[in-house]
Structure 1
Amino acid sequence: MTVPPVSKQKLRLIYYSKELGSPNNSLCDWINRKTISSSRLNFGLKINKHHDHRHRKVLVMSQKQIDPNWAWRPYAPSTDQPWNLQRVTHLYRRLGFGTDWETLNAGLSITPDQLVNDLVFASPESESFQIEMKAMSRAMVATGNPHGLASAWLYRMINTTNQLQEKTTLFWHGHFATGAQKVQDAFMMQQQNELLRKHALGDFNEMVQGISKDPAMLLYLDSATNRKTHPNENYARELMELFCLGEGNYTEQDIRELAKCFTGWEVRSRRFRFNKYQFDTGAKSFLGTTGELTGEQAVSHVLSQPTAPIFIAQKLVRFFVMDEPQPSAELVAPLAQQLREDNFNVAKTLKVILGSNLFFSDLAIGMKVRSPVELVTTLLRSLNGTSSMDLLTAGLHDLGHSIFFPPSVKGWDGGRTWINSSTLLGRANLVYRVLRNEKTQFGGGTLTEYASKQELSSLTDVADRLIQQLFAVPISNDIRDEIVSSSTEQFSQREEQLRSLIHTFTSLPQFQLS
């Protein structure tokens, strides 16, 4: 007997009575309220949970009350803010894609600072794993299908020993969004992915210099046809607006002048080539400087602007700490200063962010919506799982998170935009398909065998483990008991009971929060 895909009726029956209240409420509204509710923050402000616009206003107010020096000071466990399993799992969810029970308990046995340091400055992946990934990527490139690259990357996310490097590569993939649907070349898309991985935790200056000459980016933003007689302004605009400075920190004249610096940058035989005959050698005036600047010098000048480290710090905080509201310039000022002083070293700044008071506070825990990629990778990594990568790739496409195929140069909006009535059901049904797929294993075997290895003798034991390991927000005992009871009543075979249990738990609105 199979576990049926989740339906709206099932969601309403199980969750409204216990958690959401009136059936007139929406599951999506519940998630929205959770992501913006600050009732757990202890900042002395109360929110009327029935008025979304007031939530946003109060969160902005509460953010202004946060002392930036306190926010980025190293987290020190206390009676009120203990170093416990919840915070260890929070770190692994945000820094990477979750981890197994044994690793979580090992992390709990050392100090927060030591664990953060070990994860931020982790050893490189083993040589054998890197060889395996190169072979897999080459095979996917040979097919000419960029969707195959997504399967290889998902495999890497689930199996890498250096989670932060891969999570940050995913962040930069959204930041420097480049769509395979326009590039139409798997090799160039893979080369860009390797470029982002190489610089993911390193020097942001070098990354921007590299991405500016990246063939996939040059084709995607039409910079490969940038000629001195007909400058193309696309890359110049996005370099300032989306990649380095943010809106309002440049003028249209700056765009026109900056575009001249990139004339003659071409793609030949899938490689970058500088065509000196198409380069504008005249003086350019932008962002307060004038000179016969090259493209490389222009990139350096853009990054020298005082708003650059603020913009990057805000993007990092939004991705790793909280979806909304947009972190203020005042809040990220210490991070921006460190970025500038460390020559835009990403790893050093992330160590501050991931080891901070703010990161381990209730303002961060459970205050992000899981992306579809995080949804499936966290489930599998946490339970030592493997599955069909092609199945995952197809499912993520249906949920609007098709890696290598961002919706636009702005990437994915993320946050609450991941959730609507369609995608909420789609998420649950993707988990259903994963649980039923013949290639899916947990710990190298069935769920029954995995539970036995973990010494989880009852369904309640399994439920408690799932709650501890997968959820950022509390699940009441009533909901837990009802799900356990439902799984027991519907199915007699242990394997089907476990599938039903996991499927129903991961269909909960609470599971959508990280």
Structure 2
Amino acid sequence: MKKSNVWSLRLGFSGKESDKIEKLGLDKFLKHSYKSTFDKQLPAFLEDDPKTLSELKEFRESIKNADSDAKKKFLKKEIYSGLDLRKWWVDKMRNDEFPLRENMVCFWHNHFVSTSQKVKVNYWIYQHNMILREHAFGNFKELTKQMVKSNAMVKYLDNVDNKKGKYNENLSRELLELFTIGIGNYSESDIKNGARALAGLNYGDDGAVYRPFAEDNTDKTYFGKTGNWKADDLIDIIFEQKNIPYLITRKILKWFIYDNPPEDLVAYYGDYFRKKNFEIEPLLTKIFTEEYAKENLGTKIKDPLVYILQLIEELEIKDFDNGLIVLFLRQQGMDLYNQVNVKGWDGGNSWLTSQIYLQRNNTSDLLCSGRSISRKILNTMSGEGEQPKAEFEKIDIKIDFDSNGNNKTIIAELSSRLLFKVNDSMQKDMENLLKYDFDPKEEHANFAVIRLFNYITKLPEYQLI
């Protein structure tokens, strides 16, 4: 596989950035990615959703006092607003000129987990997502401060129940265990005192705020420092600790390049991250440019996003419904805004269980046959009524190949684009599918090459980048 194809998949979600990486070079490609802009306008589907605390209170009162039909209507609107939010994000992943920002948003989304299922306010989930987008390449410490003070996070990790004299330690614990420094680098006393410092941090109109009646204004000792600490103070103290850089460098390496990152690389890049005062952009530049120079193909299993978006891109499917992508991701265990727990998706081997592999193969069979699940099936995502039998609709598909080549050059072309290695057995199978007398200019040549592509998508090697 060409290096530019591998890194297009690693930094984006499909192979379509390959030409840009080759034309610009990786350094310039990264600079363009960092400078990429994004739309800050509120999506239309959220315009009528409650945004302030007073609007939210009024909305909940109206549901409480409504009759059963009206309640169903409210619930249905909320569910479809959540679906629209997922489709809106998938659209950005598919169509942004430089999708590295959205890939980083997805990384941070899986680091600072906050699910719609528990938060139950779509506008707060949107705010959470936009904070990640704004700070995707910024400063890790500042992003952590923003996340801890988001309405979505204080709701998701139960800090609304954290009050003076009646402490809830969830946010304090996960701030240390999962968000910053990792297990083994703090004490139970730090968790307890962190919870005291976070007591009273509750919902606000533009993010979480302290409620005076519930906050603890006594001194707390945190990592050996004593004072009347609050949320920002806790994070400043955490980022002074020796082992702070390594949890996040390990996760970045795992997300982009290695399912099992070597510990020497974790330490090497972590030390650099500290020197750069936890600025994410220079860290990414160092990791990507140095790892690009190495031979490290086949070290990472494609996640469901990469799998489905590459499939759609390779088959040049136009106007593919983003809702169907959302449905596929849910089936594969990568439901956006709804990780199973606060640890997020495990990645690695969890993306290639026998069930997930079968679903991938079935999806490839369906799309390569020129069919897609009917848009009507999306109505079942609301969970209402019985699941109907799957309905299908015809789609136009084609695949890019050199029509002036022959069977072997076309096999080599697809292999170079799609597979990190090809052995003799695979080569023989592909030549049996696309035989020596194959005519690339024949009327149905495209379908023959699509059959070859379908075969390739089912190979274990295709699942790796």
Same fold flag (TM > 0.5): yes
Choose which of 22, 32, 36 in structure 2 pairs with 1:108. 22
| Structure 2 unaligned residues grouped into runs of 5+ | 51-76, 376-394
Match of 2:72 in 1: none
Choose which of 448, 455, 462 in structure 2 pairs with 1:504. 455
Instruction: Tell me if the contact between 1:175 and 1:410 (Cα under 8 Å) persists in the aligned partners.
Output: yes
Choose which of 357, 360, 368 in structure 2 pairs with 1:427. 360
Match of 2:11 in 1: 95
Match of 1:82 in 2: none
Q: Name the SS of the counterpart of 1:307 in structure 2.
A: coil
Instruction: Tell me if the contact between 1:318 and 1:327 (Cα under 8 Å) persists in the aligned partners.
Output: no
Q: Name the SS of the counterpart of 2:248 in structure 1.
A: helix
Match of 1:311 in 2: 247
CA distance in structure 1 between the aligned counterparts of 2:406 and 2:89, rounded to whole angstroms: 35
Structure 2 counterpart of 1:379, one-letter code: L
Residues 28-427 of structure 1 mapped to structure 2, 5 A cutoff: 86-100=2-16, 104-105=18-19, 107-109=21-23, 114-122=25-33, 124-125=35-36, 130=39, 134-135=42-43, 138=46, 143-145=77-79, 146-268=82-204, 271-324=207-260, 326-328=261-263, 330-356=264-290, 358-362=291-295, 364-381=296-313, 384-386=316-318, 387-427=320-360
CA distance in structure 2 between the aligned counterparts of 1:234 and 1:289, rounded to whole angstroms: 21
- Report the TM-score, using the length of structure 2 for normalisation: 0.80
**Identity percentage of aligned residues:** 25
- Give how far 1:379 is off: 2.8
Match of 2:418 in 1: 470
CA distance in structure 2 between the aligned counterparts of 1:116 and 1:483, rounded to whole angstroms: 40
* Cα distance, 1:126–1:334 mapped onto 2, change above 3 Å: closer
* Cα distance, 1:482–1:404 mapped onto 2, change above 3 Å: farther
Stretch moving more, 149-158 or 263-272: 263-272
| Structure 1 unaligned residues grouped into runs of 5+ | 1-84
Instruction: Tell me if the contact between 1:321 and 1:359 (Cα under 8 Å) persists in the aligned partners.
Output: no
Match of 1:482 in 2: 432
CA distance in structure 2 between the aligned counterparts of 1:109 and 1:327, rounded to whole angstroms: 31
- Give how far 1:502 is off: 2.9
Stretch moving more, 315-324 or 85-94: 85-94
Q: Name the SS of the counterpart of 1:403 in structure 2.
A: coil
Instruction: Tell me if the contact between 1:250 and 1:287 (Cα under 8 Å) persists in the aligned partners.
Output: yes
Any idea what the Cα deviations from partners look like across 1:224-252, whole Å, max 9, x if unmatched?
22111211100110010001001111111
CA distance in structure 2 between the aligned counterparts of 1:224 and 1:205, rounded to whole angstroms: 23
- Give how far 1:254 is off: 0.9
Match of 1:39 in 2: none
* Cα distance, 1:221–1:428 mapped onto 2, change above 3 Å: same
Q: Name the SS of the counterpart of 2:209 in structure 1.
A: strand
Any idea what the Cα deviations from partners look like across 1:146-165, whole Å, max 9, x if unmatched?
23322221221111112211
Any idea what the Cα deviations from partners look like across 1:362-384, whole Å, max 9, x if unmatched?
3x311101111111122334565
Structure 1 counterpart of 2:97, one-letter code: T
Structure number with higher relative contact order (C-alpha < 8 Å, ≥ 6 residues apart): 1
- Give how far 1:497 is off: 3.7
- Give how far 1:94 is off: 1.2
CA distance in structure 2 between the aligned counterparts of 1:509 and 1:189, rounded to whole angstroms: 36
- Report the TM-score, using the length of structure 1 for normalisation: 0.72
Any idea what the Cα deviations from partners look like across 1:373-427, whole Å, max 9, x if unmatched?
1111223345654412111111111111111110100001110111121110111
Q: Name the SS of the counterpart of 2:434 in structure 1.
A: helix
CA distance in structure 2 between the aligned counterparts of 1:417 and 1:158, rounded to whole angstroms: 24
Instruction: Tell me if the contact between 2:12 and 2:103 (Cα under 8 Å) persists in the aligned partners.
Output: yes
Instruction: Tell me if the contact between 1:96 and 1:167 (Cα under 8 Å) persists in the aligned partners.
Output: yes
Match of 1:437 in 2: 372
Instruction: Tell me if the contact between 1:451 and 1:457 (Cα under 8 Å) persists in the aligned partners.
Output: no
Structure 1 counterpart of 2:350, one-letter code: T
Stretch moving more, 181-190 or 459-468: 459-468
CA distance in structure 2 between the aligned counterparts of 1:327 and 1:237, rounded to whole angstroms: 27
CA distance in structure 2 between the aligned counterparts of 1:217 and 1:168, rounded to whole angstroms: 19
* Cα distance, 1:379–1:347 mapped onto 2, change above 3 Å: farther
Q: Name the SS of the counterpart of 2:342 in structure 1.
A: coil
CA distance in structure 1 between the aligned counterparts of 2:287 and 2:23, rounded to whole angstroms: 21
CA distance in structure 2 between the aligned counterparts of 1:506 and 1:141, rounded to whole angstroms: 41
CA distance in structure 2 between the aligned counterparts of 1:123 and 1:250, rounded to whole angstroms: 34
Structure 1 counterpart of 2:348, one-letter code: G
CA distance in structure 2 between the aligned counterparts of 1:173 and 1:503, rounded to whole angstroms: 32
Any idea what the Cα deviations from partners look like across 1:254-287, whole Å, max 9, x if unmatched?
1000111111111145842321221100111121
Instruction: Tell me if the contact between 2:171 and 2:195 (Cα under 8 Å) persists in the aligned partners.
Output: yes
Q: Name the SS of the counterpart of 1:161 in structure 2.
A: coil
- Give how far 1:288 is off: 1.7
Match of 1:5 in 2: none
Stretch moving more, 152-161 or 346-355: 152-161
Instruction: Tell me if the contact between 2:36 and 2:101 (Cα under 8 Å) persists in the aligned partners.
Output: no
Structure 1 counterpart of 2:4, one-letter code: V
Any idea what the Cα deviations from partners look like across 1:101-130, whole Å, max 9, x if unmatched?
xx53453355xxx42343244264467xx3
The RMSD of aligned alpha carbons is: 3.1
Q: How many residues align?
A: 410
